[in-house]
Chains A and B, each alone.
Chain A
Amino acid sequence: DIQMTQSPSSLSASVGDRVTITCRASQSIKNYVNWYQQKPGKAPKLLIYAASSLQSGVPSRFRGSGSGTEFTLTISSLQPEDFATYYCQQTYSSLTFGGGTKVDI
């Protein structure tokens, strides 16, 4: 099974900050990574697919990058509505999620 390790598990940030979340795969998964945002009491929302493709309707301040075993989600300028938990997901072999990164104030 492919394990996805996210870091950090939580972080505190302020509006306007640049935020970077990392996801490491236990083996190479090329660019088969997606990123989701989840707010309390809500279903996850797709942000990025195929490591760097922005889902329609998602603000351009969200950017995904990486390939192989290391991937990052960057929020260029944190907005109030971005405080949430973020998950990576690999789809290279079966499907697994990372443990999540909670972004709060």
Chain B
Amino acid sequence: QVQLQESGPGLVKPSGTLSLTCAVSGDSITSNLWWSWVRQPPGRGLEWIADIYHSGSTNYNPSLKSRVTISVDKSKNHFSLKLTSVTAADTAMYYCARDENWGSYRFFDSWGQGTLVTVSS
């Protein structure tokens, strides 16, 4: 059974860079799947951030694209997220998820437990 585990600093200073990693176990990151990051500000809804395929192909939420980089490390079976120039509005629970597909349909069938990142000085 696949498991995903987010890790990274829980506190980031304003204007700094948020960096998170998602370790994947029970599945290979080189399988025919995409891998995503999703965030959720406290008390609010879900926002998809970006996804990546093991080949390095990526997609980004247009509203965040200028500040986001997603990458994959096949040797470590993990993928990562960097978000630059953070503000308090970036304070959120950050989840990584497996982006399964069924033909042309996509859905997030496995999620990490999430990691809370607070932007504050």
**Count of chain B residues with a beta carbon within 8 Å of a chain A beta carbon:** 21
Query: Contact between B95 and A43 (Cβ–Cβ < 8 Å)?
Result: yes
B97 partner residues in chain A, CB cutoff 8 A: 43
Instruction: Work out how many contacts link A and B, with CB atoms closer than 8 A.
Output: 58
- Kindly identify which residue among B62, B106, B107, B113 contacts A43, using a CB–CB cutoff of 8 Å: B113
How many A residues, CB 8 Å from partner? 24
B48 surroundings in chain A (CB, below 8 A): 89, 94-97
Per-residue interface assignment for chain B, residues 62 to 77, with 1 indicating a CB less than 8 Å from any chain A CB and 0 otherwise: 1000000000000000
- Contact across chains for A46 and B45 when beta carbons are under 8 A apart: no
From B45, B102, B105, B109, A99 is in contact (CB under 8 Å) with B45
Distance of A50 Cα from B100 Cα, bound (Å): 12
Which residue in chain B gives the minimum CB-CB distance to A43? Answer: B111
Residues of B whose CB lies within 8 Å of any CB of A are 36, 45-48, 51, 59, 61-62, 95, 97, 102, 105-109, 111-114
